[in-house]
Structure 1
Amino acid sequence: MTKLLKTLTLTALLAASFSALATKPERPYGLVIHGGAGTILKKNMTPEAEKAYREKLDEALAAGYKVLEQGGNSIDAVKASIVIMEDSPLFNAGKGAVFTHEGVNELDASIMYSEDLSAGAIAGVSHIKNPILLADKVRTDSVHVMMSREGAEEFAKEQGFELVDTKYFFTQRRWDQLEKVLKHTPEKPELSEDEAKNSKFGTVGAVALDKDGNIAAATSTGGMTNKRYGRIGDSPVIGAGTYADKNCGVSATGHGEYFIRAAVTYDICARVKYKRQGIQESADEVIHDKLVEMGGDGGVIGLDAGANIMASFNTEGMYHGWKTSNGQQAIKIYKGE
């Protein structure tokens, strides 16, 4: 009888253990994206344009979140979101990239993964439809972190990428912007103060935390309108435009020269790690204090290991949105929204 009771007790304990495992709460996961910051004012936005931006942000968010929801990793999630934005003429990345002084498109992108701190970046490419995919190929299939221009495109061909004709990137809107910038002089201004400021930046980015607790951050851009001399901004620079470790992931958008010198994305994650403070507070210290003191404009998005979302910008607006397994979801554009 005693032996029977012991067997029944052990069976009950095992059943309880399996039941506890089965009902163990899932690790939180989430995704946050951005489509660039700048002087984005509701009074200057038509209802049709605002609707188009919100719908495309929602589409990009849904694509990346679906990957996470189905158990996929954070790297695939950020790529899924960014490809949607790179394929849209609305954003300064991929199809919607701005023109350089010479009237060509030079694209930059970077990606980083917290699990092993692997990173990949490409800069100044002109024939890659989705730069973020090539940046990830650099991360996984090369011994390097960053490649540029013709060398990056040679690597792309070796990896089976199809190079597209430069005509693919032409949009009338971006061409008209370049022509206005080229004609602009202090004596005969073609650009308003806001237009002049906005010509200096434009980016897309995404940060994801998956069910395994791994964070990925990624950023893609067409750079600065009228840029010259092979200029490269912060977007492909690990620690400036993109950073991810086990504590934090961040993607930036703004005036790249300032973001590089301020090591913005790394600084935010370092504050989370070493000061043990929240990601929003860490970002606000960098974006609203450090960067403002330097004279830099822009913003960041990110999340931490607990799927706590962060968005911080010192401009009038930033196209951004997020969705988490905790039930948080939003698409936002304007300051104070």
Structure 2
Amino acid sequence: MLLVVPALGQAQSATSAAPDPSRITLVIHGGAGTITRALMTPEKEQAYQQALNQALDAGYAVLKRGGTSPDAVEAAIRIMEDSPLFNAGKGAVFTHDGRNEMDAAIMDGRTLAAGSVAGITVVRNPIRAARAVMEQSEHVLLTGPGAEQFAREKGLDIVEPGYFYTEARHQQLEKALAEERKPGTPDQLNAPSAAPEKGKAKIKAGKAQGAVLPNEQIFTEGKKYGTVGAVALDQFGNLAAATSTGGMTNKRYGRVGDAPIIGAGTYADNQSCAVSCTGWGEYFLRATVARDVAARMEFAGQAVGAAAQATIDKVGKLGGDGGLIAVDAKGNIAMPFNSAGMYRAYIRASGERKVQIYKNE
């Protein structure tokens, strides 16, 4: 599935310093996977439409007042991180041990500066931690307790792990554990009878904080990679990309996917494009998807739409599924995916916007 939308503005070179408000463009995604009309209720569809529009509004407001592309992608991501609808921040899935472990990354296409975090459990907005790494440290990637210590030292909003508890995600973990216990499942011999004890303590703490939303039963879903992402072109011609995720339900061993890995799930370069990915992370890592799109543009002279589609085709041939969003230095965008659906949306300087969920929209 490929959508390429030609730019409306008369963008100049991506390296131009002259402001041109007509070129601003923002694209976001909220995950890809088994997202079909058959699995969607009107209430659930409306909830996703509203959340995606809120994220667009937040990032667009930044761009319209002359803000930078990193500011815009962070603003859009934070809206989705604060929503239980998406597998990022508040809506992060549970690991095998009953924890919510989050990853995030951001990259500035003007300077190639980048920052990311992985395996964090107490930072309310992981994308803020990633940006702090990019702008306030000499590093690119921080993980686990070290990343959390860094976030505390930088004054970021720290919460109790129970803040991330949602009943829908808890039910997803219980379902996954039940599947593991079925005879013939590879991990069946090691599968616990329920969430591990240390996980139960965190789950209980989450419930005690009253984090169960009264209507969140409408947010249950089929197989979906709910990673969120944003890419933007600002009036100065600069690109940025950001991605945030809670990983995969029932993941073990400190698994980290593509989202926080620069060049795999996140990449931005003014000379080519900005990319944020969502899907089965192992395949996106192996295919270095985000950088692959940029490289096809840089070295093969492909347009962003062709480059993005070719890279998703490459993922499919490997056996992976998912999608990506991309924008180039002229404001052309692409949103290809090979799954049943992908939450995706864009907005332009004129205010033209589109929010899409299913294939063939």
TM-score (norm 2): 0.82
Listed as ranges, the matches of 1:1-337 within 5 Å are 26=21, 28-185=23-180, 187=183, 198=223, 201-246=225-270, 247-288=272-313, 290-325=314-349, 328-337=352-361
Q: C-alpha root-mean-square deviation of aligned residues, in Å?
A: 1.7
Conservation of the 8 A alpha-carbon contact between 2:26 and 2:231: yes
Conservation of the 8 A alpha-carbon contact between 1:27 and 1:213: no
Deviations 1:40-71 (A, max 9, x none): 00011000000000010001001101111111
User: Paired residue for 2:210?
Assistant: none
Distance 1:173 1:326 in 2: 38
Q: 1:25 to 1:222 in 2, by over 3 A?
A: closer
Distance 2:236 2:127 in 1: 23
**Percent identity (aligned):** 54
Deviation of 1:29 after TM superposition, in Å, equals 1.4
Conservation of the 8 A alpha-carbon contact between 2:39 and 2:222: no
Distance 2:222 2:42 in 1: 23
Deviations 1:96-127 (A, max 9, x none): 00000000100000000011100000000000
Distance 1:197 1:63 in 2: 28
**Count of aligned pairs between the two proteins:** 307
User: Paired residue for 1:9?
Assistant: none
User: Paired residue for 1:5?
Assistant: none
Conservation of the 8 A alpha-carbon contact between 1:121 and 1:139: yes
Deviation of 1:162 after TM superposition, in Å, equals 3.1
- The DSSP-based 3-state class of the residue aligned with 1:312 is coil
Distance 2:21 2:145 in 1: 45
Letter in 1 for 2:122: H
- The DSSP-based 3-state class of the residue aligned with 1:333 is strand
Distance 2:303 2:345 in 1: 19
Deviation of 1:188 after TM superposition, in Å, equals 8.9
Deviations 1:176-232 (A, max 9, x none): 00000000045499xxxxx99826x32000000000011000000000000000000
User: Which gives a bigger RCO, structure 1 or 2 (Cα 8 Å, sep 6+)?
Assistant: 2
Q: 1:25 to 1:33 in 2, by over 3 A?
A: closer
Letter in 1 for 2:260: P
Which blocks of at least 5 consecutive residues in structure 1 are unaligned?
A: 1-23, 190-194
Deviation of 1:304 after TM superposition, in Å, equals 0.3
Deviation of 1:272 after TM superposition, in Å, equals 1.2
Which blocks of at least 5 consecutive residues in structure 2 are unaligned?
A: 1-18, 186-219
User: Paired residue for 1:13?
Assistant: none
- The DSSP-based 3-state class of the residue aligned with 1:321 is strand
- The DSSP-based 3-state class of the residue aligned with 2:294 is helix
Letter in 1 for 2:45: E
Letter in 2 for 1:277: Q
- The DSSP-based 3-state class of the residue aligned with 1:301 is strand
Conservation of the 8 A alpha-carbon contact between 1:233 and 1:256: yes
Distance 1:309 1:196 in 2: 28
In our comparison, the structure showing a higher alpha carbon Rg is: 1
Conservation of the 8 A alpha-carbon contact between 2:305 and 2:334: yes
- The DSSP-based 3-state class of the residue aligned with 2:336 is strand
Deviation of 1:327 after TM superposition, in Å, equals 5.8
Conservation of the 8 A alpha-carbon contact between 1:40 and 1:317: yes
TM-score (norm 1): 0.88
Q: 1:26 to 1:133 in 2, by over 3 A?
A: closer
Distance 1:122 1:170 in 2: 20
- The DSSP-based 3-state class of the residue aligned with 2:104 is strand
Q: 1:45 to 1:138 in 2, by over 3 A?
A: same
Distance 1:26 1:74 in 2: 12
Conservation of the 8 A alpha-carbon contact between 1:28 and 1:326: no
Is the deviation greater in 275-284 or in 138-147? 275-284
Letter in 1 for 2:268: A
Deviations 1:134-166 (A, max 9, x none): 100000000000000000011111111232001
Conservation of the 8 A alpha-carbon contact between 2:28 and 2:325: yes
Distance 1:275 1:328 in 2: 31
